[in-house]
Amino acid sequence: MKRFSYKAKDKFGKLVTGEVEASSPVHAARLVRRKGLIVISISSRVSSPITLIKRFRDRVSDTDIAAFTRQLSTMVNAGLPINEALLVLRSQSNPSMQKVVAQVLADIEAGESLSTALSRHPSVFNKTYVSLVKSGEVGGVMDEVLVRLADSLEKDMEFRGKVKGALVYPAIVVVGMIIVAFIMMIFVIPRLTSLYTEFNAEIPLATRILVSVSNFAIKFWPIFLFLVFLFLYFFRAYRNTKFGREKTDAFLLNLPIIGNLQQKVILTEFTRTLSLMVGAGVSILEALSVASEVVNNSVISSALKDTAKQIEKGFPVAYAFARHPNVFPFLLSQMIAVGEETGKMDEVLAKISHIYEVESNQMVKSLTATIEPVIMIILGLGVGFLVVAIILPIYNLTSQF
């Protein structure tokens, strides 16, 4: 959600200024008009560092959303009306989620549906979430949809936690190696070099290489940091373009091991979401349309959009998926064909999701098992090189006496 400043007139023609929090200028104008004001201008407010810190502190996490959904599903299944359930959750939620629940409750009391109220908070409730709630409203099975949605959110959190947890240790070791190397180059090596110079010690090749690297790091580290930040800035700007995002996403998918792992993780979440939506009564076309907008890879997103177009033209779902073998493995189209024949598409998609989840977990375990010894070997070689580069001049000094 963004903050917008507005100028408006009240019913007496008096100028009124203020701020509203909304997802877009159109949404902001709608909120201002609800106050009985006539909008004159709407402008996006530039966020200060303090505002950014406050926004980060008040952000709603995946855990908050999962807990909210589980509690809401429990109360709705117990027969409590939506507005009363939200009234209870407003007092029980943490401060960041409390603001969202309060606004959703206000919108519902104003006569809007739950799905419409949730859609006003796209940073909290994505399109998949809103579509599922809408299908529950239309089909009169809100209690079942909320239970399935809560289960799905909890499974997603558990799966992501496993993947992230497995990669934490290698990441910490690599960052630690970089920090130690930086400290050695900037603070330790120059002092040892000055000591060797004072005693006119013979400096071997390994030490000369280490000294050269240290001198370069001392003299040019500000330039190096500037170039790194410049590269990150231009890379981010390039990735924000449609062409740049497609190219970088395609590059990431084609990376050995990492690309395959990323594909498996995305397919796990995508098939689980698709199974949930189809099982809740959402049409396959609408489910694919929603999934193409929330999936976190433009290559897979484009393939899903094309798949939806082919299905709309009358082609079988399995055939539409099979048109993109570089994105969707043969197993996926084969299993979907079974789902079409048996009429149990949601169950088949859930099975596929479980298969990809198991494969992803095995790949993560294999990756970490491979990375750890490689890191240890690199660390050992680095430490060995430092020891040789530092000890050899000292040995030459002692042999002179």
CATH code, domain with 200: 1.20.81.30
Q: State the amino acid at position 167 in one-letter form.
A: L
Tell whether 165 and 285 lie within a shared domain.
Answer: yes
**Spatial separation of the C-alpha atoms in residues 94 and 71, rounded to whole Å:** 13
- Residue 341 structure tokens: 């024949």
Q: Which of 34, 32, 40 is nearest to 13 (CA)?
A: 40
Give the helix/strand (H/E) hosting 10: none
Pairing verdict, β 38-44 and 2-9 = antiparallel
Q: What is the per-residue pLDDT for 45?
A: 62
Tell whether 158 and 300 lie within a shared domain.
Answer: yes
Cβ–Cβ < 8 Å for 210, 388 = no
Partners of residue 44 on adjacent β-strands: 4
Gyration radius from the chain CA atoms: 29
Q: What is the per-residue pLDDT for 90?
A: 83
DSSP 13-55: --EEEEEEEESSHHHHHHHHHHTT-EEEEEEEPPPPHHHHHHH
- Residue 65 structure tokens: 């959303």
Tell whether 50 and 69 lie within a shared domain.
Answer: no
244-294 pLDDT, tens digit each: 888 888 888 888 877 888 888 888 888 888 888 888 788 888 888 888 877
**Spatial separation of the C-alpha atoms in residues 293 and 273, rounded to whole Å:** 12
Positive or negative, the CA dihedral 264, 267, 272, 273 is positive
Residue the block writes with tokens 């970088």: 248
**Spatial separation of the C-alpha atoms in residues 37 and 42, rounded to whole Å:** 13
Q: Is the pTM of this model over 0.75?
A: no
Below-50 pLDDT ranges, the chain: 49, 52, 56
Q: What is the per-residue pLDDT for 401?
A: 56
Number of domains the chain contains: 3
Tell whether 51 and 74 lie within a shared domain.
Answer: no
Pairing verdict, β 38-44 and 15-22 = unpaired
Cβ–Cβ < 8 Å for 66, 74 = no
Tell whether 225 and 338 lie within a shared domain.
Answer: yes
**215 occurs within a structural domain:** yes
Please enumerate in sequence order all residues whose Cβ is within 8 A of that of 137, keeping only pairs 6 or more positions apart, or say none: 113, 114, 115
Q: What is the per-residue pLDDT for 230?
A: 92
Tell whether 93 and 151 lie within a shared domain.
Answer: no
- Residue 126 structure tokens: 């994505």
Tell whether 87 and 210 lie within a shared domain.
Answer: no
Cβ–Cβ < 8 Å for 153, 66 = yes
- Residue 230 structure tokens: 């410049």
Tell whether 114 and 202 lie within a shared domain.
Answer: no
Q: What is the per-residue pLDDT for 218?
A: 77
Domain that holds residue 106: 62-125
